[in-house]
Amino acid sequence: MTDKPPVPATMFDPWPRIPVDTTDTSPFDRILRLATFAADHWTLGPDGPFRQPATPATICRNQIREGLLHLLELGLIDIDTDRIDAAPGIPCQREQTPAP
């Protein structure tokens, strides 16, 4: 794992990014497939929008929730609460969105 850079000292300072290998054989790709499967399972299952109508925003949020929760429950990712608590603010948008 890459060492994490320190969080910014003040709100709105640039937030250092950690490089992520997103190639088809990377660990990221492996957990992405697991998270996508969990999201798809929710989407097509009895609690999903095909059986329980929902807005597009709610569908998106629940798909993200299912994928993230699945990875957390498997212990494949962790929440760095020390880092969250140390940050004066966390950016909500990405600086740039790489092509999938």
**The pLDDT of residue 2:** 66
* C-alpha span between 67 and 41 (Å, rounded): 10
> Which three-class secondary structure state does DSSP give residue 57?
helix
- Count of domains for the chain: 1
Domain extent for 52: 27-85
Inside any domain, residue 50? yes
pLDDT, tens digit, 9 for 90 and up, residues 43-77: 999 999 999 999 999 999 999 999 999 999 999 99
Inside any domain, residue 66? yes
Inside any domain, residue 3? no
Output the average pLDDT for the chain: 91
* C-alpha span between 23 and 32 (Å, rounded): 11
pLDDT band, residue 7 (cuts 50/70/90): very high
Inside any domain, residue 12? no
Provide the residue type at 44 as one letter. Answer: L
17, two tokens: 């990014």
Inside any domain, residue 9? no
Residue 99 above 70 pLDDT? no
* C-alpha span between 24 and 26 (Å, rounded): 6
Inside any domain, residue 36? yes
